[in-house]
Structure 1
């Protein structure tokens, strides 16, 4: 059996808290007590083929979260929408940085990552909630599930999907969650928390099989959690308990949307086995007899960069075949 064959069979027993569903239900119910849209303003980009709006929506705790909403210029008909989540340490940046989905004919909402701008990209959304933990986003509030940064960020991601449905020109029956790395982990979480997504696109997802991930690599973000534990040795039990509430495998098991995965087999940031753990258990909760449609592309000689532009092209063709089968032939 080859290593790839072993990865295709890898299905670890991930720790799942007894109150996992209740935890997320109460968290999202609290967020939904406020109207989702806060502000929507036209934004001049200088680009003639797309129109863009600067969006603010209410995320975790009602905190204002920023996003860019971009769509093909002059198109008034409702379009399928791709809600995209950025990678670790990145913000929403500038609207002309990510144009694949609007150019492909989709409405596109790009969510800012609260508190994470400045490491790899610019953003405009603070994270005002302090709690004991380490100095990096992956360790903020990590000693308790209710305090953890990813409780807030995942809630923001779910609210982003709800926000796009409230924006003009969106076909609310065709909303997609998409992301790479941390963004892929957020998209997986949304797929596990909502049963009305049209599709999921996730590449090199972070936070999957997370208890093992922190043991496999020294690269950030997992390495940041390991470095925190190297100093706070007595905190391991509390940290592992917190991480069990954000594991992408647990979200993946609950997901119902068709899904497209991409994984680099030499990835030392999000080790490939962790992504396969989510893929291999996707849609299996409660002994479901039939799993959602799944497609996975593995890149044997690539790391965290995965298939890059080749993979994006595959995503575009797969999504068109799924949502707009007469638009382009599947390739």
Structure 2
């Protein structure tokens, strides 16, 4: 790895050239209203995982178009009364896996709602939620699934799931407040859910977030997942502008402008997967209280345990 993006002094003031679609707010309001209109009450079933200090609950809630989405709800067994809930989103290619994969937040005294990722779970951690609505030609992966129209785009569905996960967490009888968090794709979903959920979210923690300044990202890195986009438009050059117009609707830069909660974001200067300029593009748009953790010698590992430790302390201070 090596430094390859803009120098740090330019990153600190960098702004994306991506234009926000004129109907951005209307598009997302209509999408979320439709999902809510089809929602049914979440189903919570306690499971025995052998984790004796924790309550572990299998959750099914209504996501995009009312479709069922799986999650884990993990909370300390000895905790009485209200608890803050951390809604956690997963990185690209992974699913919700096992409850014992997610012990950080419950160990810190939080309830942790871990959202499964529709259609994913075949690359590095298993998942349980299908994606029934694939559409059109695509490059292998998820970045170009349905990319020729924002209405059919995969990330429209996944971001809707993320907002509905926040709403499911808020409805828990013990929830005192809700935070959102994730790394990479999970970090991009945290920015999106934070921007679309308004005051329902009390804190946003996004590690090296994916899906930010996408028009730039797909031109400056050869790493997947962004390289999926380049492969798709290389074979479909007449469809490039339609695809670019679609990804504008899910760009973290636009969601970041709408975040009202305190936010913690990390960036890594040697990150070839989510280039630092794309992360700064989103971070620089967050209007309120915010903090950037910068890892100058890291790639997409993005601080690893160092960032996890900072994330817990950030949440504790809210």
Same fold by TM-score, threshold 0.5 exceeded?
A: yes
> Pairwise mapping of residues 133-282 of structure 1 onto structure 2 (< 5 A)?
133-134=137-138, 135-171=140-176, 174-196=177-199, 197-282=201-286
For residue 246 of structure 1, report the CA deviation from its aligned partner.
0.4
* Bigger RCO of structures 1 and 2 (CA < 8 A, at least 6 apart): 2
State the 1:280 CA deviation.
Answer: 0.7
Deviation, structure 1 residue 318: 1.4
Deviation at 1:11, TM superposition (A): 1.2
* Deviation, structure 1 residue 281: 1.1
CA contact (8 A) 1:138 1:224 kept: yes
1:112-151 alignment to 2 at 5 Å?
112-134=116-138, 135-151=140-156
What is the number of residues matched between the two proteins? 311
Equivalence for 1:297? 293
Say if 2:307 is the partner of 1:319.
no
Shift of 1:36: 4.8
Say if 1:90 and 1:116, in contact at 8 Å, map to a contact too: yes
Structure 1 residue 231, shift from structure 2 partner: 1.0
Distance 1:102 1:166 in 2: 19
Partner secondary structure for residue 193 of structure 1: helix
Residue 67 of structure 1 pairs with residue 71 of structure 2:
yes
Stretch moving more, 221-230 or 51-60? 221-230
Q: Following TM superposition, by how much is the alpha carbon of 1:116 offset from its aligned partner in structure 2, in angstroms? A: 0.9
Greater shift in the superposed pair: 226-235 or 19-28: 226-235
Deviations 1:185-210 (A, max 9, x none): 00100111111110000011111000
Q: Deviations over 1:247-275 (max 9, x none)?
A: 10001011111000111110000000000
Question: SS state of the match for residue 96, structure 2?
Answer: coil
Cross-structure match for 1:287: none
Q: Measure how far apart 1:167 and its partner are.
A: 2.2
CA distance in 2, matches of 1:23, 1:155: 12
TM-score (norm 1): 0.92
| Contact kept? 1:40, 1:53, Cα under 8 Å | yes
1:37 and 1:180 mapped to 2: Cα distance?
Answer: 28
> What is the 5 A alignment of 1:17-36?
17-36=21-40
Residue by residue over 1:198-247, the C-alpha shift from the partner in whole angstroms, topping out at 9 and shown as x without a partner, is 00000111110000010011111101111111111111011001011001
